[in-house]
Amino acid sequence: MSATEPVINQVTSLFSAYQSVRLLTEEICDPLQPEDFVVQPVVDVSPPKWHLAHTTWFFENFILKDHMPGYKVFDDDYHFLFNSYYETEGERWIRAERGVLSRPWVKEIMAYRNYVDEHMKQFLSGDEEISDHLTKVLNIGLNHEQQHQELLVYDIKHILGVNPLFPVYKSRSTHPERVHLEENYLPVPEGLYEIGYDGKDFHFDNEEGVHKVFLHAYSVLDRLVTAGEFMEFIAAGGYQDFRHWMMEGYEWVKKENVKAPFYWIREDGQWKHYTMAGLEPINPDEPVTHISFYEADAYARWKGKRLPTEFEWEVACQKYEPTVPKGANFMDERNFRPMPRKENHNQFYGDVWEWTNSAYLPYPFYEKEEGALGEYNGKFMINQMVLRGGSFATSRNHIRPTYRNFFHPNLRWHFTGLRLAQND
């Protein structure tokens, strides 16, 4: 079974699903050197070693500890060290200081993973049927680890990308590409539309609460904005012209001295950027990435357009690309970068997460889970903006049109871009 085969619910396949997800996490870490596993350059980045341990703690804490008779935790201290934000689970090591944890060693963390994996194999291969509730918890754990796989790629790129040596994570062979960058808009008529997840497959609780929204007629660009188009914004003085920026965004630009997307460098009159394959000239046909919500919004205003709301994005996606096309660029392809649009699809999936002009808020009828898992989404529904569509670090089986990602508007280390919208 490949490391990205779909996560499924049948009891007979639970361990296969578990194993495939766990293998991908370790594959992502394969190119790293021991020193890379401990680095934490900023508070938003977690050391790769911490991700390896935290995702393992999830299965030990929420499944094995309470549901496998006779299970003995690997190390009592790990509960304190590798809990992330679950207040229900007690005290935890402060996030900003994860990088000071030189111990436990990486080998000890891998021994921890192996220990938990072996016990999960025994637990899931037993004669007793796994309850629906426990199956749900396991699927949350698998999707939780898939989210951390994407965070791992964000964090590894940041760890390597702020190094002045610009080390290569994974080299990449280049080949000529046929691109489709015509600018077309996809119209959506005025009407009442249903928003939210309505089905029985896995989804997160923040997608629940199917409800109707009224949308005026609008249209969205049928592709992502490219790096070349964003260069035009820079050349036109976009970062220096307050007219394109919300006040908070412009204050952020001045305070942080922001002049281009994150990882962009102007060298010998040419724009370059750090990629997972090292420092390279920017391909103007690739979708722009590593931009904050503020930058996405300013660019849209400069173009005389706007960002779509998350509801407009979901309705347009369901109308024009309800299923993931073969040409979408996900973790499964192992490109480790956004790719130019090569085929006639609308780039609603993969490449980069798309900023929307919607605050992250609960849907009507939203109900928080009881216990620690109720902390997974609900308590973050303030001061964050919604992103849609997935990125090249998202697994194909992890995304769907109703998936709601969310980040603070100033952040840029994740793989973010934009699509333009306009009123019709």
Same domain for 324 and 383: yes
Q: Of the candidates 113, 145, 161, which is a domain's last residue?
A: 161
**∠ CA 378-380-384 to the nearest 5 degrees?**
130
Alpha carbon of residue 350 to chain centroid: 10
Same domain for 149 and 214: no
Is residue 176 domain-resident?
A: no
- Residue 5: predicted pLDDT: 44
Same domain for 405 and 336: yes
Q: Of the candidates 161, 177, 195, which is a domain's last residue?
A: 161
Domain limits at 220?
185-423
Same domain for 195 and 265: yes
Same domain for 362 and 247: yes
- Residue 7: predicted pLDDT: 45
Task: Provide the number of structural domains found in the chain.
Answer: 2
Q: Of the candidates 108, 129, 161, which is a domain's last residue?
A: 161
Same domain for 189 and 78: no
Is residue 173 domain-resident?
A: no
Is residue 180 domain-resident?
A: no
Tens digit of pLDDT per residue, the chain (424 long)? 344 444 444 445 888 999 999 999 999 999 999 999 999 999 999 999 999 999 999 999 999 999 999 999 999 999 999 999 888 888 999 999 999 999 999 999 999 999 999 999 999 987 677 888 899 999 999 999 999 999 999 999 999 999 999 999 998 866 657 788 989 999 999 999 999 999 999 999 999 999 999 999 999 999 999 999 999 999 999 999 999 999 999 999 999 999 999 999 999 999 999 999 999 999 999 999 999 999 999 999 999 999 999 999 999 999 999 999 988 999 999 999 999 998 778 999 999 999 999 999 999 988 887 777 777 788 888 999 999 999 999 999 999 999 999 999 999 999 999 999 999 9
Give 318-321 contacts, CB < 8 A, sequence gap 24+: 318/401, 319/186, 319/188, 320/186, 320/222, 320/346, 320/348, 321/345, 321/346, 321/348, 321/349
DSSP string, 127-172: SSPPPHHHHHHHHHHHHHHHHHHHHHHHHHHHHHHTSTT---SS--
Is residue 63 domain-resident?
A: yes
Same domain for 213 and 140: no
Is residue 221 domain-resident?
A: yes
Is residue 96 domain-resident?
A: yes
Tell me the whole-structure pTM to 2 decimals.
Answer: 0.94
Is residue 43 domain-resident?
A: yes
Same domain for 387 and 240: yes
Same domain for 267 and 125: no
Same domain for 260 and 145: no
Give 193-197 contacts, CB < 8 A, sequence gap 24+: 193/311, 193/315, 195/311, 195/314, 195/315, 195/363, 195/402, 196/363, 196/402, 197/400, 197/402
Same domain for 415 and 273: yes
CATH of the domain at 203: 3.90.1580.10
Is residue 2 domain-resident?
A: no
Same domain for 388 and 323: yes
**Nearest-CA neighbor of 258 among 244, 239, 236?**
239
